[in-house]
Amino acid sequence: MRIAEPTVERLVQYHRLLEQLSSEGRKVVSSQEIGQMLSLKASQVRKDLSYFGEIGKRGVGYHVDRLFEHISGILASPKKWPIALVGVGRLGEALLGHRAFRSEKFDIQALFDVDPEKVGTNVMGIPCFHMDTAAEEIRRLGIQVIILTAPSSVAQLCVDTLTAAGGIRGILNFSPVSIVTPPDVLVYSVDISVELEKLLFYLKGREE
């Protein structure tokens, strides 16, 4: 099933919200409530969920747990992707400590850095290797996904080294620069300051 990117994004948001509601003991939720909590139109929520075969009951809504399981199934990966995080600075450590990144779904097996204080140690339980040995460790561990939190100045160099090792399928790039990869490597860039710029841009619009 091919799903458009904004839909995937909303799907992941529904999933996260339903998990939260479930943990709070909620049994049902309406499309209006979901929409309000995620800043979406209720009609968009209904459209998305009916596309995936879930129809809310008029005046009742959706069963939280059933909808959660249903979306889990769609998002579920048939396997755990072996992941490495490259660049164990403040952002890298923040991600490693982030609840969501320590989920069972993600399997961060190795860290790479050049800092002698970090190389050879375990950071939050994960072994840190020197970038010089990245290619061989990637092959040894079968790493397929990279979380890139290296400084901008060396981001492309890291990517070149890592992809040259072979086997890398995707890169989640947190460095605020564009990176170039071989065509078979999928790149997702997350520029965390973009969101602040967007917020300020909308506030400006409200002010005018």
Q: Which residues bind its own copies (CB under 8 A)?
A: 2, 5-6, 8-9, 12-13, 16-17, 20, 37-39, 75, 77-78, 81, 89-91, 93-95, 97-101, 103, 105-106, 144-145, 147, 152, 169-170, 172, 176-178, 180, 186-188, 190-207
By beta-carbon proximity to its own copies, the closer residue of 56 and 87 is 87
* Cβ atoms < 10 Å from Cβ of 92: 23
* Cβ atoms < 10 Å from Cβ of 133: 12
By beta-carbon proximity to its own copies, the closer residue of 59 and 205 is 205
* Strand 122-123 relative to strand 126-130, pairing: antiparallel
C-alpha 53/C-alpha 50 separation (Å) is 5
> Could you tell me the smallest distance in angstroms from the CB atom of residue 39 to its own copies?
7
> Could you tell me the smallest distance in angstroms from the CB atom of residue 189 to its own copies?
8
Q: Are 159 and 153 in contact (CB under 8 A)?
A: no
Q: Are 171 and 187 in contact (CB under 8 A)?
A: yes
> Could you tell me the smallest distance in angstroms from the CB atom of residue 100 to its own copies?
3
By beta-carbon proximity to its own copies, the closer residue of 1 and 55 is 1
C-alpha 147/C-alpha 82 separation (Å) is 11
> Could you tell me the smallest distance in angstroms from the CB atom of residue 77 to its own copies?
5
